[in-house]
């Protein structure tokens, strides 16, 4: 499973990515998780299953959906509480439930 977290610069989600990777490892789930700025999303589509959008850039949702949903890639806004508290396990679960 490949998950991309989209934020404005690709930086604010880096801690969340680490926590998600740890949660996946603890659960024995094979997953590839990265964070990218929206401008780099088009370069990361190969094998992509889920795009999670940072709450601070939720205004990009429509644009991202129109771009990736025709490619059968699921999209959602990261739960703002889980994002703010850097709860990697909850965000990982959100991505898994989309798949």
Catalytic positions: 7
CA 62: distance to chain centroid?
15
Cα within 13 Å of Cα(84), Cβ side: 5
- Residue 61 neighbours by CB under 8 Å, 6+ apart: 53, 75, 77
């Amino acid at each position: 499973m490949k998950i991309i977290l989209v934020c404005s610069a690709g930086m604010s989600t880096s801690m969340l990515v680490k926590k998600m990777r740890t949660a996946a490892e603890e659960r024995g789930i094979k997953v590839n998780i990265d964070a990218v700025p929206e401008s780099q999303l088009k370069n990361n589509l190969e094998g992509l299953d889920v795009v999670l959008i940072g709450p601070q850039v939720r205004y990009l949702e429509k644009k991202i959906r129109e771009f990736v949903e025709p490619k059968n890639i699921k999209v959602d806004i990261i739960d703002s509480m889980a994002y703010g508290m850097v709860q990697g396990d909850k965000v990982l679960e959100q991505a898994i439930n989309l798949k």
